[in-house]
A and B are shown apart, each in its own frame.
Chain A
Amino acid sequence: MTADDVSTDDIARALAAAIGDESLLSAGLSAATRLEGDLCLDSLDLTAVGALLRERYGTAVDLTGYVAGLDIDEIIELTVGEVAAYVNRRRAAWPQAGQGR
Chain B
Amino acid sequence: MSRFLFVPLPLTGHAHPALAVADALSVRGHDVAWCGPEAYFRPLIGPDATLFPTGTRLFRDQAGHGIAALKSMWQRYIIPMARFILPAADRAILEYRPDVVVADQYALAGPLAARQHGLPWATLATGAMELTHPLAALPQVDAWVRAQQASLGHDASDLLFSPYLVIAFTTSALTGAQAFPGHFALTGPAMLERPGAFAWDLLDPARRTVLITVGTLATSLAADFYRRAAEAIAPLAATVQAIVAGPPDLLPDPPGNVLVMPRVPMLALMPALDAVICHAGMNTVCEALAHGVPLVLAPIRHDQPVVAAQVVRAGAGIRVPFSRVSPGQLRAALITVLGDPSYRLMAAEVGDSFAAAGGAAAAAARLEGVAQGAR
What residues make up the interface of A, taking CB atoms closer than 8 Å to B?
19, 21, 23-24, 36-37, 40-45, 64, 67-73, 75-76
> Which residues of chain B are within 8 angstroms of A42 by Cβ–Cβ distance?
65-66, 299, 305
> Which residues of chain A are within 8 angstroms of B326 by Cβ–Cβ distance?
23
Whether A72 lies near B139 (C-beta < 8 A) is no
Q: For residues 96 through 150 of chain B, which have their beta carbon under 8 Å from a beta carbon of chain A?
A: 134, 137-141, 144
Whether B299 lies near A68 (C-beta < 8 A) is no
State in angstroms the CA–CA spacing of A67 and B67 once bound together. 12
Assess A72 versus B321: contact at CB under 8 Å? Given A42-B299, A67-B138.
no
> Which residues of chain A are within 8 angstroms of B305 by Cβ–Cβ distance?
42-44
Interface of B is mostly: helix
> Which residues of chain A are within 8 angstroms of B66 by Cβ–Cβ distance?
36-37, 40-43, 76
Query: Which of B137, B299, B324 is close to A23, meaning CB atoms less than 8 Å apart?
Result: B324
Whether B71 lies near A43 (C-beta < 8 A) is no
**Distance to closest chain A CB from B127 (angstroms):** 15
Whether B324 lies near A43 (C-beta < 8 A) is no
> Which residues of chain B are within 8 angstroms of A68 by Cβ–Cβ distance?
137-140
**Distance to closest chain B CB from A77 (angstroms):** 9
State the 4 A-B residue pairs at the shortest beta-carbon distance, nearest first: A36-B66, A40-B323, A71-B140, A42-B305
Question: Count the B residues whose beta carbon is within 8 Å of the partner chain — how many?
Answer: 23
In the complex, B237 has a CB within 8 A of chain A: no
Whether A69 lies near B140 (C-beta < 8 A) is yes
State in angstroms the CA–CA spacing of A45 and B321 once bound together. 10
> Which residues of chain A are within 8 angstroms of B322 by Cβ–Cβ distance?
40
Most chain B C-beta atoms within 10 Å of own C-beta, residue among A44, A45, A64: A44
State in angstroms the CA–CA spacing of A69 and B143 once bound together. 12
Cβ-closest chain A residue relative to B300? A40
Assess A40 versus B321: contact at CB under 8 Å? Given A72-B67, A76-B68.
yes
Cβ-closest chain A residue relative to B309? A44
Whether B71 lies near A40 (C-beta < 8 A) is no
> What are 9 A-to-B residue pairs whose CB atoms are below 8 Å?
A23-B326, A36-B67, A37-B68, A43-B137, A44-B309, A71-B141, A72-B67, A72-B141, A75-B67
State in angstroms the CA–CA spacing of A75 and B145 once bound together. 14
Most chain B C-beta atoms within 10 Å of own C-beta, residue among A24, A42, A43, A76: A42
Whether A21 lies near B65 (C-beta < 8 A) is no
**Distance to closest chain A CB from B305 (angstroms):** 5
Cβ-closest chain A residue relative to B324? A21
Query: Which of B64, B71, B299 is close to A72, meaning CB atoms less than 8 Å apart?
Result: B71
Cβ-closest chain A residue relative to B145? A72
Whether B324 lies near A36 (C-beta < 8 A) is no
**Distance to closest chain B CB from A64 (angstroms):** 7
Q: Mark B312-348, 1 if CB is under 8 A from A, else 0.
A: 0000000101111010000000000000000000000
Whether B324 lies near A72 (C-beta < 8 A) is no
> Which residues of chain A are within 8 angstroms of B141 by Cβ–Cβ distance?
71-72, 75
Cβ-closest chain B residue relative to A40? B323
**Distance to closest chain B CB from A68 (angstroms):** 6
**Distance to closest chain A CB from B282 (angstroms):** 16
> Which residues of chain A are within 8 angstroms of B70 by Cβ–Cβ distance?
72
**Distance to closest chain B CB from A69 (angstroms):** 7
State in angstroms the CA–CA spacing of A85 and B229 once bound together. 38
> Which residues of chain B are within 8 angstroms of A37 by Cβ–Cβ distance?
64, 66, 68
Cβ-closest chain B residue relative to A35? B66
> Which residues of chain A are within 8 angstroms of B144 by Cβ–Cβ distance?
71-72
**Distance to closest chain B CB from A18 (angstroms):** 12
**Distance to closest chain B CB from A67 (angstroms):** 7
Assess A40 versus B324: contact at CB under 8 Å? Given A72-B67, A72-B71, A76-B68.
yes
Cβ-closest chain A residue relative to B71? A72
State in angstroms the CA–CA spacing of A70 and B319 once bound together. 27
> Which residues of chain B are within 8 angstroms of A73 by Cβ–Cβ distance?
71
Cβ-closest chain A residue relative to B68? A76
> Which residues of chain B are within 8 angstroms of A69 by Cβ–Cβ distance?
140
Q: Mark B58-83, 1 if CB is under 8 A from A, else 0.
A: 00000011111011000000000000
State in angstroms the CA–CA spacing of A45 and B323 once bound together. 13
